[in-house]
Amino acid sequence: MKTIAIYNNKGGVGKSTVSLFLADYFSSGAVTVRQREPRILVIDLDGQGSSSISLVGLRTVAWARQEKRTVAPLIQKLRSGAKIDLGEYVLLRPEGVSRGRQLSLGKLWVIAPERDGIVEIEKNCDLRCFVRMAKVLKEALDPHFDITIVDLPANIDQRNKIPLAGLLMSNVIFVPTDPSRVTLNALPDAFENIQYVRRIARDQKIKVPQLGGIILNKTDKRAKQYRLHHEELQELAAQQNTVVLKNFLPEAPTLSTASDDSLEFGALRERYEKYYGHVRKVALEVAEKAGFTARSKG
């Protein structure tokens, strides 16, 4: 199993949107793992539950929270060594039905968050605890999934052990951002947390998560804001031994609408409309940097 973390310590930069379209595109058969179409899992660690609600709907997520079938109870049981039925904690998004030859939204699975449960676990969780959380969760999921996408919350620090475990269990981390002054000022906080987790991995002799790159969101390369800050963003990336991805996402209401769980979508182009080309290019570049075999479909 390869795990992709989507993280920025600032809110509103598109972490859940990026998690959503990567899950959609990868599940459509556009990438292969071990020469077959992968089984995709999304772990939503943001208490708001935006990506999980977008994928399986508010009612399903509300049911999972009520029945304690979310990420926090799963981690608690794994830490205790109890035997679990993983099927009790993963929510299915069935394959969509498309018209004609359009690429259907593929089948995938989701683990939803629940804020109170996450807070309760973190009350008495030290460094050893969060390292163990990352280990047991990855080991439990590894036989069942090929690609896991972890949607992380904003505003975390070293007290937030479950999001840190999400970073620690990842193979590669991508940082969505927009090219505004306010957002760029917040990037060092994100990189500090990433480097903290990378140091822990080295100390614990765990495979160190790689920084795959910065994904530009809400971007117009003709705009003054982009021209003013693009070079600085490239320098920030270079300081972290990473890159700004060549492909980007524009400022587009359609990309916000794509996450509306009250709308029904059966196909990729239906969900992303005229911006599907941008979504496709970014997803393929992410796949390449994450080490998947990508097939340019649709």
Token pair in block for residue 273: 């409309």
CA contacts within 13 A on the Cβ side of 247:
16
pLDDT tens per residue across all 298 residues of the chain: 999 999 999 999 999 999 999 999 999 877 777 777 889 999 999 999 999 999 999 999 999 999 999 999 999 999 888 889 999 999 999 988 766 667 788 999 999 999 888 888 888 888 888 899 999 999 999 999 999 999 999 999 998 999 999 999 999 999 999 988 999 999 999 999 999 999 999 999 999 999 999 999 988 888 788 888 889 999 999 999 999 999 999 887 766 666 767 667 777 788 888 888 899 999 999 999 998 876 665 5
Q: Looking at the structure, give the CATH architecture of the domain made up of residues 2-288.
A: 3-Layer(aba) Sandwich (3.40)
Q: Rounded CA gap, 17 and 24, in Å?
A: 11
Residue where the block lists tokens 């690609």 = 147
β-pairing, 293-294 vs 31-32, is antiparallel
Q: What DSSP state is assigned to residue 90?
A: -
What amino acid occupies position 137? Answer: L
Closest listed residue to residue 56, CA positions, set 44, 39, 71: 44
> Hey, is 6 helix, strand or coil?
strand
Phi/psi of residue 176, each to 5°?
-75, 145
CB burial of residue 3 (10 Å; 0-12, 13-18, 19+): buried
Token pair in block for residue 48: 């708001």
Token pair in block for residue 77: 């049981």
CA contacts within 13 A on the Cβ side of 30:
27
Token pair in block for residue 194: 């990433």
